[in-house]
């Protein structure tokens, strides 16, 4: 639904030949998910035709602690240029983010964390 933000490219520590990026749709993908931040892990480049990986998304709070973590239950099949996410709704509801008690937007900055294995 509009804006798409992509992170810089990164690699996982175990295999620096795999290049990834995060893609964020701040207002979801469709009408159903418009109140959610949608987050995707995109395989940018890979020496093989496909790779299987588990992944976890979380938000780092003001103390640098992981919160609101979501983890894939199985290894997902990635091919270059394709992404995976938790697509049923989205990663997190926008109403939850600005609440200062949650400590997720220090200085109006959101820090996302992704782990792949």
**Residue 86: domain span:** 5-116
In tens, the pLDDT along 52-62 reads 999 899 999 99
Q: How many domains does the chain have?
A: 1
User: pLDDT, tens digit, for every residue of 19-51?
Assistant: 999 998 888 778 888 888 888 899 999 999 899
CATH number at residue 71: 2.60.210.10
What pTM does this model have? 0.83
Q: Give pLDDT, residue 116.
A: 84
Could you write out the DSSP letters of every residue in 57-117? Answer: EEEE-TTS-EEEEEE-SSPEEE-TT-EEE-TTS-SEETTTTT-GGG---GGG--EEEEEE-
């Amino acid at each position: 639904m509009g804006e798409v933000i992509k992170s810089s490219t990164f690699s996982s520590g175990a295999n620096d030949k795999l290049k990834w990026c995060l893609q964020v749709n701040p207002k979801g993908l469709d009408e159903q998910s418009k109140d959610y931040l949608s987050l995707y892990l995109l395989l940018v480049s890979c020496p093989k035709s496909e790779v299987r990986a588990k992944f976890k998304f979380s938000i780092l709070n003001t103390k640098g602690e992981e919160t609101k973590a979501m983890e894939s239950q199985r290894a997902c099949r990635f091919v270059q240029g394709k992404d995976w996410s938790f697509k049923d709704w989205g990663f997190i509801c926008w109403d939850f983010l600005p609440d200062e008690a949650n400590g997720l937007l220090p200085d109006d900055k959101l820090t996302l964390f992704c782990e792949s294995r």
